[in-house]
Amino acid sequence: HASTALLLPSARCLFDQPVQLKVEGLRSRQVVTMRARSTDEKGVVFSSSATYRADGSGEIDLLRDPSLSGSYVGVEPMGLLWSMKADALHKRFQKPCALNPHVVKFSLHEEDREDRMLAEVTNERLLIGNGVSRVPVKGRNYQGVLFTPPEGPFPAVLDLCTLMSEKRASLLANKGFVVLTVPVYTDHPDNVKQIHLDHFNEAVDFLQQQPKVGSKGVGIMARSKGGDIALSLAAFVSGVKAVVSINGCNAVVSVPLYYQNHQIISPLGSDITKLITTESGASIIKYGLGDPLAEENKDSLVPIEQAKGRFLFVASEDDLNWDSKAYMDQMAERLKRHGKENFETLCYPGAGHLLEPPYSPYCASSFHRLVHHVVLWGGEARAHAEAEVHLWSKIQEFFRTHLSCDAAQTKPKL
């Protein structure tokens, strides 16, 4: 009397696609433990578990049935994925390269008996879709990876990640965008004494010259430190049509910003004594950054009112990295004061700093490479996971709306 676990529509899917996990062939009302397990690229094992009760016909369907206990409770069809945790504290799931799929093993066990496995199924979650090309790019002053979908033309997006990561860029390319991902820091952040906007301008120009790009300008998406670079590009560089800034600051943080060999914005200072250490050993750094609106910091604010493009400002209300919600409100206020209506805001209560494409294991705390501390990122796992699903579709919709590909100006095919 064998039970089987099925993944619908398929055991292979894209990383950001939901799957439906179903079990058949159990005894009527049998209680079982379901587990998910995955190893990241650093070799760290992440896992989750949840207890389910079969219906009268010995079936369980995660779209319909609630978890009774475990890593989460209630009806959460993708709960086994976002609730995965590492055995060790303060670990973040590392998936920097788009070529390697996120492989998750789902297994079914007799209640609380890990040694009695009833069924298992492997989910291969691909980061790069069919026919999307991945090309490492080295410009004069920047390096990155370019993702191009088949056919075309497509709108162009520059993904500014704080430290190199391909996940968000490749997943967006799967949706019909030419995406170039470029890290803000290629060197160790401690060695970076200034940032030159020209280097990112060069990346914008490179993107616009790509043969499959059909949009007149480019979009930019960024989170955290990448946010102030994205805002600055919108303010100083032509051709930036749409910016998504996720949990970014309205001032330039940590190092001065240069453009055409002049310092254009001075950095907002921080105060290391304002760290709050918690019992787990992780610190809350939210209160360490200076107040962007204080008189002595006004030269660190980005003059976003100069921007010609559109903004989507996104803030997590429970961000413990810094006060994203306040920065978002200040930016909205500044644009309104200048008579501008070229922005929309999106706010997520219960979400933390690290908003990612959906179905990533939620990370509560990890080592912050820019401040050299293990930090709490904020957020409550379920609310954070829901925010990621919602935001991901909003980003695509925003770029599609504001980076239209005009059929008349597509480059002729030879």
> How far apart are alpha carbons 405 and 412 in whole angstroms?
14
Catalytic residue among 224, 232, 360, 365: 224
- Predicted pLDDT of residue 123: 98
Query: Mind giving me the DSSP string for 39-78?
Result: E-TTS-EEEEEEEEE--TTS-EETTTPPB-EES--B--TT
What are the φ/ψ torsions at residue 21 (nearest 5 degrees)? Answer: -95, 125
Residue 412 has pLDDT above 50, yes or no: no
Say what the alpha-carbon torsion angle 395, 348, 255, 160 is, to the nearest 10 degrees.
-20
- The single residue of 102, 109, 199, 353 carrying the catalytic annotation is 353
* Average pLDDT of span 74-103: 95
Q: Could you give the CA distance from residue 32 to residue 55 in angstroms, rounded to a whole number?
A: 12
- The CA radius of gyration of the chain, in Å to the nearest whole number, is 23
pLDDT higher than 70, residue 348: yes
Report the pLDDT value the prediction gives residue 408, as an integer from 0 to 100.
43
Region 48-60: mean pLDDT is 98
Establish whether 165 is a catalytic residue: no
Over residues 91-126, the pLDDT tens digits come to 999 988 899 999 999 999 999 788 899 999 999 999
Q: Residues 13-39: pLDDT tens digits?
A: 999 999 999 999 999 999 999 999 999
The answer to whether residue 198 is catalytic is: no
Query: CA–CA separation, 345 vs 354, rounded Å?
Result: 18
Q: What percent of the chain has pLDDT over 70?
A: 98
Q: Which domains does the chain have, with CATH numbers?
A: 4-126 (2.60.40.2240), 133-403 (3.40.50.1820)
State how far the Cα of 41 lies from the Cα of 173, in Å rounded to an integer.
Answer: 22
User: Which pLDDT belongs to residue 2?
Assistant: 84
Would you call 115 a catalytic residue per the annotation? no
Residue 370 has a pLDDT of 87
Q: Residue 269 corresponds to which tokens in the numbers above? A: 């200072």
Check 319, 360, 366, 384 and give the catalytic one.
319
pLDDT of residue 152: 87
pLDDT at 411: 47
Q: How far apart are CA 295 and CA 297, in angstroms?
A: 5
Per-residue pLDDT, averaged over 53-74, amounts to 98
Residue 359, burial from CB neighbour count under 10 angstroms (0-12, 13-18, 19+): buried
Q: 410 pLDDT band (50/70/90 cuts)? A: very low
Length of the chain: 414
**Rounded-to-integer distance, Cα 241 and Cα 185, Å:** 24
Which pLDDT score is estimated for 68?
98
pLDDT tens digits for range 364-391: 999 998 888 999 999 999 999 999 999 9
